[in-house]
């Protein structure tokens, strides 16, 4: 079989992906693409990247057998890839470290980023502080409210956080505003996109920087069990942690790949953030073609999820592709199911997961029950849940 | 010859420059758009750029974003935009109408249906902000078959090879974005625009329009000296925003006349 080699040189995954931006951005994207091509296999660049991943991020992250939780659930054994143990508490830092090293090589003194839950913003602010770069983070005004601890964290790290008041005031609007900043300050500014969306080369580049997760899993699973898992499960908003763990497994057809979207109040209510599961139409947003939640007139509709990091109307174009070629499956779990899984992991394993990650956990729990005890589910525990305690407390009517 | 090409030809014969105001369809209210279009023509507009409202106008500054939001509050979408152009054509069959918008509303109804309906409404040109030429070859071909012009943006950052690529695809006129930024962002640097327009002119006979930073009559006058067309967007939308329904027509007509006088 031909090894998987998407995207094509123009950034297309079949009909998905591409470069759908105003002319002013084309030059900057060309420059970025050429810089990335130049360094992605460069030994000095990789040496510096691996040094940072090891000594600054704390990689490799362990895989942990959630034995008590597996027993409680009953069925397959659930293993957790502990991306929550990374510096800054999520997988996001793998990508920001990589892109920041590119920014440094391109001589750009100013970094901008968009953020939903704040994890990507924190990771970007962190690496900017370390490299002495100016950092501006765009964040939907709605998310600024529900992710207050991360907002303060970014400020402590010297970043300027700009609340975005336009549109639905969430992640998609933060992305619009970051793009507007980039087009205005193109010569001095590097835009670190945090997910596998945006115009080419971002979906490919963000995937590549995150694929360290899947690469580690392959050798760690072999070491621990002498084999690969039966199923890999990860949550999908834009889809960066899922692409990171899926990518090295794409060419192993015996390993099922399942992406878990946010069903919010339920797919049938329309208040969700699950374009793949809900069979949303194909459209163009934020520089790429993908499945997109929209009305009949092509206006992007408001999404809902308890987790800010999944509250996005589109999905990375490579996930759209993997769905179409049936290499990955996509399902969705509701706010309530995710919350239950959140509490369940806290109480049985002593791990507080992010609400985003809790969606993957909720599906793993459902799936495990249908499987045998000698089968293995590997979940990407993409982030820790400290940032979510205010949200969870509020739902439980507890004031902190 | 297209209506846009004819208009440029007629202007050239009288040594005049085209003045193209931009308004967003449905802003401030869908019932007002057609009469606003007529008023702009009566006050000196040579063509009209009519914005298709979009929920995520990534290349627009706050002024035009708000115009989109006002139009969307009245649920104005492509079907209304086509109806407005049709209604405008009942009284005016001379003035070119250019639709400007983003790819997603077009793809939502499908490129073929879009082109059919644009033709039926008698639209003359299309600017799709987030369709660089590489991503819209098929769409450009469909438009060409129906004799609708594909108007592409050129930016200060476009290198020579790209300018050539865009010229190959473009018809009607070329739209030079006068600054690095979103619509209405800042004052433009006339000298810089002049030098870039000069470079583009050596490569093509297509007329060159300039827009994105024309804030007042004085700037319009300067831009007209070095281009074939001046596009006034955010400034016009600002006038709409600052008017009420009683003085709206009067105010935009007054602004249009000021611009006309400055450009002549």
ipTM: 0.95
Query: Which member of A128, A280, A344, A382 is catalytic?
Result: A382
Return the pLDDT at A148: 87
With an 8 Å Cβ cutoff, are B129 and A286 in contact? Answer: no
What is the sign, positive or negative, of the torsion defined by CA atoms of A239, A240, A241, A244? Answer: positive
With an 8 Å Cβ cutoff, are A24 and B59 in contact? Answer: yes
Run of H or E residues at B75? none
Q: What is the mean pLDDT of chain A?
A: 96
Residue A216 main-chain phi, psi, to 5 deg? -65, -40
Query: Which member of B27, B31, B46, B60 is catalytic?
Result: B60
Return the pLDDT at A170: 86
Please report which confidence band the pLDDT of residue A392 belongs to, taking 50, 70 and 90 as the band edges: very high
CA R_g for chain B = 17
Residues ≥6 apart with Cβ < 8 Å to A55: none
Q: Chain B contacts of A167, Cβ < 8 Å?
A: 55-56
Rounded distance between C-alpha atoms, residue B200 and residue B209, angstroms: 11
Return the pLDDT at A146: 79
A159: tokens are 């970043």
User: Active-site residue B60, yes or no?
Assistant: yes
Q: What is the mean pLDDT of chain B?
A: 95
Residue range B138-151: mean pLDDT, rounded: 98
Question: Nearest CB to A186: which of B59, B78, B157?
Answer: B157
Nearest-Cα distance to chain A for B5, in Å, is: 23
Tell me the pTM.
Answer: 0.96
Q: Residue A62 pLDDT more than 80?
A: yes
Report CA-CA distances (Å) from A229 to A60, A349, A379, A380.
18, 20, 10, 12
User: Active-site residue A369, yes or no?
Assistant: no
Model pLDDT for residues B59-76, shown as the tens digit of each residue: 999 999 999 999 999 999
Please report which confidence band the pLDDT of residue A383 belongs to, taking 50, 70 and 90 as the band edges: very high
Q: Is B154 on the interface with A (CB under 8 A)?
A: yes
Residue with tokens 């592709």: A321
Q: Residue B1 pLDDT more than 90?
A: no
Which residues lie across from A334 on neighbouring strands?
A: A264
DSSP B215-259: -SHHHHHHHHHHSSEEEE-HHHHHHHHT--TTTHHHHHHHHHHHH
Return the pLDDT at B180: 78
SS3 A279: coil
How many residue pairs from chains A and B have C-beta atoms closer than 8 A?
A: 124
Rounded distance between C-alpha atoms, residue A82 and residue A379, angstroms: 9
Residue range A44-54: mean pLDDT, rounded: 98
Q: Residue B184 pLDDT more than 80?
A: no
| Residue of B96, B103, B53, B59 whose CA lies nearest to B78 | B53
Cis, peptide link before residue A296, omega less than 30° from 0: no
The DSSP 8-state label assigned to residue A53 in this structure reads I
Return the pLDDT at B182: 79
Distance of CA A366 to the CA centre of its chain: 22
Rounded distance between C-alpha atoms, residue A31 and residue A182, angstroms: 14
Rounded distance between C-alpha atoms, residue B164 and residue B191, angstroms: 22
Q: Is B54 on the interface with A (CB under 8 A)?
A: yes
Rounded distance between C-alpha atoms, residue A29 and residue A355, angstroms: 33
Q: Strand order of the sheet with strand A110-115?
A: A160-164, A134-140, A110-115, A189-191
Question: Nearest CB to A299: which of B61, B72, B135?
Answer: B72
With an 8 Å Cβ cutoff, are A28 and B102 in contact? Answer: no
Residue with tokens 């000594």: A55
Please report which confidence band the pLDDT of residue A165 belongs to, taking 50, 70 and 90 as the band edges: very high
Model pLDDT for residues B8-60, shown as the tens digit of each residue: 999 999 999 999 999 999 999 999 999 999 999 999 999 999 999 999 999 99
Residues 56-115 of B with CB under 8 A from A: 56-62, 65, 69, 72, 75, 77-79, 102-109
Residue A137 main-chain phi, psi, to 5 deg? -115, 125
SS3 B71: helix
| Residue of A265, A267, A174, A234 whose CA lies nearest to A356 | A234
Q: Residue A205 pLDDT more than 90?
A: yes
């Amino acid at each position: 079989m031909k090894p998987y080699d998407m995207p094509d040189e123009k950034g297309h995954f079949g009909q998905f992906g591409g470069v759908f931006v105003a002319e002013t951005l084309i030059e900057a994207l060309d420059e970025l693409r050429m810089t990335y091509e130049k360094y992605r296999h460069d030994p000095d660049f990789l040496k510096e990247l691996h040094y940072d991943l090891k000594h600054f991020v704390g990689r490799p992250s362990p895989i942990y057998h959630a034995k008590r939780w597996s027993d409680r659930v009953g069925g397959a054994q659930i293993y957790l890839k502990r991306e929550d143990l990374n510096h800054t508490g999520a997988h996001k830092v793998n990508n920001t470290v990589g892109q920041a090293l590119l920014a440094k090589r391109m001589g750009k003194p100013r970094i901008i980023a968009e953020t939903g839950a704040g994890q990507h913003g924190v990771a970007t602010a962190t690496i900017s502080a370390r490299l002495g770069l100016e950092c501006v983070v765009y964040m939907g005004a709605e998310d600024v409210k529900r992710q207050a601890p991360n907002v303060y964290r970014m400020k402590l790290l010297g970043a300027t956080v700009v609340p975005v008041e336009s549109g639905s005031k969430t992640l998609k609007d933060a992305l619009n505003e970051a793009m507007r900043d980039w087009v205005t300050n193109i010569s001095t500014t590097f835009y670190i996109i945090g997910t596998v969306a945006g115009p080419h080369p971002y979906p490919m580049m963000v995937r590549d920087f995150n694929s360290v997760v899947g690469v580690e899993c392959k050798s760690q699973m072999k070491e621990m069990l002498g084999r690969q898992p039966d199923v890999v499960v990860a949550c999908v908003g834009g889809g960066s942690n899922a692409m990171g763990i899926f990518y090295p497994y794409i060419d192993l057809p015996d390993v099922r790949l399942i992406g878990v979207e946010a069903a919010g109040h339920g797919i049938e209510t329309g208040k969700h953030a699950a374009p793949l599961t809900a069979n949303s139409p194909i459209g163009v947003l934020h520089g790429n073609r993908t499945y997109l939640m929209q009305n009949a007139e092509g206006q992007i509709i408001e999404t809902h999820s308890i987790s800010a990091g999944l509250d996005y109307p589109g999905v990375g174009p490579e996930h759209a592709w993997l769905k179409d070629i049936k290499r990955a499956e996509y399902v969705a779990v509701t706010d309530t199911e995710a919350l239950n899984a959140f509490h369940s992991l806290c109480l049985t394993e002593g791990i507080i997961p992010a609400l985003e990650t809790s969606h993957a956990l909720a599906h793993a729990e459902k799936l495990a029950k249908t499987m045998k005890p000698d089968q293995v589910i590997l979940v990407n525990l993409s982030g820790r849940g400290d940032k979510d305690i205010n949200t969870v407390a509020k739902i439980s009517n507890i004031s902190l | 010859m297209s209506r846009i090409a004819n208009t440029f030809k007629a202007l050239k014969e009288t040594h005049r420059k085209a003045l193209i105001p931009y308004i967003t369809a449905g802003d401030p209210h869908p019932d007002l758009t057609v009469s606003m279009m007529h008023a702009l023509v009566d006050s000196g507009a040579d063509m009209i750029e009519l914005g298709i409202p979009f929920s995520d106008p990534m290349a627009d500054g706050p002024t035009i974003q708000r115009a989109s939001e006002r139009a969307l509050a009245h649920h104005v979408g492509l079907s209304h935009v086509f109806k407005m152009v049709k209604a405008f054509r009942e009284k005016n069959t001379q003035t070119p109408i250019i639709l400007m918008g983003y790819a997603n509303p077009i793809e939502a109804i499908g490129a073929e249906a879009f082109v059919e309906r644009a033709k039926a409404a008698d639209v003359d040109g299309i600017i799709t902000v987030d369709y660089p030429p590489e991503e819209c070859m098929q769409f450009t071909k469909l438009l060409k078959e129906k004799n609708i012009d594909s108007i592409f943006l050129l930016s200060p950052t476009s290198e020579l090879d790209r300018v050539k690529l865009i010229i190959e695809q473009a018809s009607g006129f070329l739209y030079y974005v006068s600054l690095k930024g979103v619509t209405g962002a800042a004052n433009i640097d006339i000298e810089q625009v002049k030098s870039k327009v000069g470079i583009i002119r050596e490569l093509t006979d297509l007329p060159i329009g300039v827009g994105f930073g024309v804030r007042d009559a004085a700037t319009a006058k300067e831009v007209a000296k070095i281009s074939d067309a001046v596009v006034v967007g955010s400034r016009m939308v600002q006038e709409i925003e600052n008017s009420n329904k009683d003085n709206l027509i009067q105010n935009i007509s007054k602004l249009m006349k000021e611009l006309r006088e400055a450009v002549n």
